[in-house]
Each structure stands twice: as C-alpha cells, then as structure tokens.
Amino acid sequence: MADGSIPFVLPDSFHSQHSPFGAFASFTIGLVDAPGGFGQALRGPANPSVYEGCRRSAADGWRLLPFLTPSRSLGTAFTGGSGFGYAAKRGRGVSLRQGFDVLTPRFFDHRGLHVIAGETALVFTVPTGRRRPRSIGFYAGGPATTGISARYAYTRVFRDLEEVLLHGIAQHSCYVKLAAQRDRELAGSGLDADQRFFELTWHPWAVDQVLDLFADRYSYRDQFGLSFTHDMGVNNHFTPPGRSSYECDNLEGCFSHMTMEQLPNWILCAVTYAGHTGDHAWLRRRKKILSAGAEARATAGLSAETPTTKFEAGAGFSPAVEEPVCPLFPGLRDAGDRNGRFDPPVTRLGRHLTRALPPGRCLDSIAGSWKMSSPSTNTWFSKIARAQRVVRCVFPEAMSPAARAGDRVHAGWQRHPVAGGTRCAIRSAATPARRAAAVVIPAG
C-alpha cells in the first residue's frame, strides 16, 4: 500500500454489530469493502474509516486488518463529539494519536497531537501473549425524541460519555464473560427472533409499555371496529395520536391503512407477552381491548379457521398466512400438532407451504431467495428467518431442496459489500431485464 502498510487477506467476511442494549447505536465492523464504525440513531452502519492493525516496531509498516475501505474524506474516522468514543486505561505503552492521516501524522502540538484534524487513534505496545482492554461507548443526553419528549433510559445511570467509557474499562472482564455467554446463546438460537421476541427475552417490561402506548394513543376504529396504526412514528419522531408515518387515507395497496394486519399484530404481541411473562394482571387490565379486537376480527370474517375456510383447494393455497411462529415462542407446541385441536388449519397450512415454496412463487425465480408473498418482490431478513423457523419446526415436509438452498443466497447478502453494509429490505430481481441476484433498498 502507498502508506507502507501491509494488508491481511481474508477468504470471507461479514459485519458484526456491537450494539449496547437500549442505546439505538452500534459499532459495526468486519465486512471487507463496506462502511462501518460508530453509528448513533442510523438506519444502518456508519460510514467512517476504521483502521485496526499491528506492527513489530516503529520502523515497520502497519499491517492492517481489511475491515473497511478507507474513506477519501480526511475527517470521518473515530470522531463523535460527546456522542461516542473509545478509551483505554492509562499506562505505559498506551498513547493517543490524532492527525489528518492517523497512520502517518505530520503535524504535532505540545501533546504530540493535532486536535484540529479528524482522525484519532489509540496506539498500544502489547507484549507477546498479553491483551490491552479497550472500551467503546455511546451517549446521547437530553431529549431524544419529538412529538413525545423522551430520553434514553441509560441517562439515569450515566451523566456523560466519559462515565460510560470509564465504566466499560472498570468492568471489562465482566463484559468479556457476558459477551461469550451471549455468543453461546446466539449459536443455539436458530435465528428466529423478530423484535418482539428479542424484547421479550431481554426487556419484557418494554413490551407491555409499547402495547399500552398503541392502545392508548395509536388505536382507532373503522367500519370493522378496533385497530391500530402501522407505527408510532419515524426517525425518533412520534406522530400525532391515531396517525402513523406510513399510512395515507383513501388508498389501496402500499401506504394504505393496514387494519387487518395491525389488529392481529397487537393481539399476538399481547398474548405472547402474557404467556411468556405470566403477567395476567396486565392481561386483565387490557381485557376490553382484547375483546374488541376479537370482535373486529369476527366482523371481518377472520378466525383460527380462516386458513381452512379460505383455502383454495384447486390451487392448494390460502390467501395469506401470518405469524404461526407466535405459539412456538412461549412453548405452545400443541398449536402445531397435526393430531391436536388445530389439526384442520395446520394440515391446510402444510399443504399451502408445500405449494408456495417452489421457485417462482414464494421463492424468487432469479435470486432463489425467500419472499414475503408470491406477488411481492420485497422482503425482510427477519421475516425470512421467522418463516424458516416455522417451516423447520412445524412443516418440515415443505423444506424442499430449493427452499433449503435459499440459505446460501441469504448468507450471501450478509457477505456482500453493498447488501451486508446496510440494514435493508432486499428486493429480488424479478424481471429478466435485471439479472443481478438482488437489488438493495434502504430500510425506512
């Protein structure tokens, strides 16, 4: 390389996101030729340069891990004001560095830095076989939202970014053990967790608060009865009561009111929360909402028998199938029992999935990826993982070789410098004129 550094060569790569609970922030690194670094309240990874490497002596060139392609901007690396930073314990062999080119700085003030420059680094001297603990952290004080003024809960514990970083250094060994435990849990998880299941595992107290806010501020009634808005807002802004950032009046299709999706979403979240936590007192407080929701679904002609009554025998399909993963989370395995009380709809769902998963239907004919529905060219990876979990656990007969081969496509998205570098909805190329395996559109 022009600066004398020597790159490592890796055969494969993917991003790893280091996200502290409750911070809406991530330090993302690992995917070659993709952006990463510190990101606070972003849709995807940040876009700075990140350098990590080693050298045997000051006379040698830096041997850098090829996590990211260096940015052409001179002011994007590791600078975040009071919002994010990194630190190490003071001691011999640890020094700060700051300059326009942090690998080969040219200008030095009285401390050996150049504070006006935008690239910063910690430089360690590490004896063979030893490690140097480091701490990275985020902090956003003051109001974090508009519409409803709210702060991050961690501001009750920490006063500023410096306290966060010092805590990370002091508790380094504890967090290393905790990270190893989380890794073991992830390895055995099956990757089937959507947001509600993640929150129920780690922050169940937040789930009932979200449900309460939907019920009290973001519910409405239409000709079928009670329902809920698509969302509460966007980009840290809460929308007015009864309104979302997504839905518009007098429309069909995209951006129309999603009454028949959001109503069962609230009901499923509520009963999953109560079943997982045993919070029957909350369930009793929300009895009227649950009863009104059940009445609205009955008015619309929807029930547990819908996959049976709406099943199109000639085609072998039901019009739509939503959320069969929910009973699996609290351990209600009998919900998928072919010999149990839900045998008719479960059997029909099995036939539906078997007919839905050949290429060209719910498997994209070009990319080979799973889709949300047969006419849709848009999908979300969390929905794919959830659907695969249900198929493997309840309907294994539908997991054809073509359906199983989709895993290679989905893994490829995470390893691609464009797709893996964003949290995104991935739209399969569905027309012969566009032969690329996937087109990436940002998640919004």
CA-to-CA distance for 427 and 384, rounded, in angstroms?
13
Longest dimension (CA), the chain: 82
pLDDT of amino acid 176: 92
CA-to-CA distance for 115 and 171, rounded, in angstroms?
29
CA-to-CA distance for 179 and 182, rounded, in angstroms?
5
Residue 429, pLDDT > 50, answer: no
Any idea what the Cα angle at residue 226 is, between residues 223 and 229, rounded to 5°? 100
CA-to-CA distance for 39 and 26, rounded, in angstroms?
5
Outline where 337-400 has alpha helix (H).
343-356, 381-394
Higher pLDDT, 352 or 296: 352
Residue 321, pLDDT > 70, answer: no
Outline where 161-311 has alpha helix (H).
161-170, 172-187, 195-202, 204-217, 259-277, 280-285, 287-299, 306-309
> What percent of the residues of the chain are helix, what percent strand, and what percent coil, each to the nearest 5?
35, 15, 50
CB 352 within 8 A of CB 314: no
Mean pLDDT, rounded, for 430-434: 29
Mean pLDDT, rounded, for 170-192: 83
Any idea what the Cα angle at residue 433 is, between residues 431 and 435, rounded to 5°? 80
Domain ranges of the chain: 16-185
Give the pLDDT band of residue 133 (cuts 50, 70, 90). Answer: confident
pLDDT of amino acid 330: 65
Give the pLDDT band of residue 170 (cuts 50, 70, 90). Answer: very high
Residue whose entry in the numeric block shows the structure tokens 């129920």: 200
In angstroms, the Cα distances linking 172 to 50, 169, 394 are: 22, 5, 42
Q: Residue 266 is encoded by which pair of tokens?
A: 């609230």
Residues 6+ apart with CB under 8 A from 307: 318, 321, 345, 348, 349, 352
Give the pTM: 0.79
